[in-house]
Amino acid sequence: MIEPWTPWWKKPSARSISLGPDGSQLIRQVNAEDTAVPYPDANTDQEASINEIPEGPESPLPSLKQLTRTEPSPLLAVHLVDILYSYCFTLRLYNGDWHSDPLGASTVALSMSKVMGQDAKPETVPEALAACIEETCSPAYRHTGGFRFAIGLVDDIIAILSLGQNALICALCDFHRLVEVGKSMLKVEKVGKTERAQGSPKLRSAARKLFFMTCWVHEQPDEAWPSLAHIVQVQKASMEELETGNWKADRKSKPQSAVLIEEL
C-alpha cells in the first residue's frame, strides 16, 4: 500500500533546517519523526528519498554583485510567489517523486510558472497567483482538483515562506535540480528536434532564474518572509470569497486592485 505523501515543508524537521552563513549545506539534524526504519528495503529507500528535506547548495552562494551589475528587480518577491506555486504544484502532482519523470515534471513546472515558462513579469501577488490558478483550473490540469487544489497550494506557499530563508533556499535548490535533470533528460530522450529545440532554451533560462532567485533570497533580511507570507495569506482570504465556478469571470470583470508589496 502506497503511503500518502507528506510534503517536506509540513514535516517537523523543516523547522530546523541548517545552512551555513554562505548558504551552503550543513549536516542536518535528523528528527525522530523523520527517521527511517533500521533495515529499509528498496521501496523504503525510494520513499525516504522523496520525503526527506531537500539539500541546500553544495557550495557557497555567490553574491548578487557577482552575478549582475544592475540592481535586482523590486518585483522579485512577486516572482518568487509564482515560482513557489509551480514548485508545490509539481511536487504534489508527482506525489513528491519528480525523479520518476524529471522531463515530464520540468515540463509541467514551466507550464505552471509564467515567470519561468513565458518570461512573464507579474507586478503584484494577486496577478501572479491569478495566472497560476487559472492554469490549475484549465482543462489540462482541472483533474488535479481545480480551485480547491489551488487554494491548498497557496497554503503551501505560505508554509514555506513561514519557515524562512533556509527552507526557501532548499526549495529553490530542489527546483533547480529538477530543471537541470529535466534538461539532461531532454538530450537523451527520444523527442523530436522541434520539441528539443523549443524545450532546451526554456529549461536553461529557468535554471538561470532559479539560481539567481536562490542567491537573491539568501541576501534578504529575515523579516522579509513573514511580511510576504502575510500578503499571500490576505490574497488567499480574498480569493476564497469568490465562488469556485465564477472566480475567473469575476477577475476579468473587476480591475485588479493595487497591492503594495513591501520593499524587501
State the amino acid at position 5 in one-letter form: W
Helix (H) or strand (E) segment spanning residue 146: helix 146-163
**What 3 state SS string does 147-205 have?**
HHHHHHHHHHHHHHHHHCHHHHHHHHHHHHHHHHHHHHHHHHCCCCHHHHHHHHHHHHH
DSSP 99: G
Reported as a single tens digit per residue, the pLDDT across 11-40 is: 999 999 999 998 888 764 444 444 433 333
Q: How many residues are present in the chain?
A: 264
As a whole number, the mean pLDDT across the chain is 83
Beta bridge partners of 112: none
Q: Rounded to an integer, what distance in angstroms lies between the CA atom of residue 67 and that of residue 12?
A: 34
Reported as a single tens digit per residue, the pLDDT across 233-247 is: 999 999 888 754 555
* pTM to 2 decimal places: 0.82
pLDDT of residue 87: 98
Q: How far is the CA of 241 from the CAs of 23, 136, 234, in angstroms? A: 39, 18, 11
Reported as a single tens digit per residue, the pLDDT across 165-217 is: 999 999 999 999 999 999 888 776 655 555 554 567 889 999 999 999 999 99
Q: Rounded to an integer, what distance in angstroms lies between the CA atom of residue 264 and that of residue 259?
A: 15
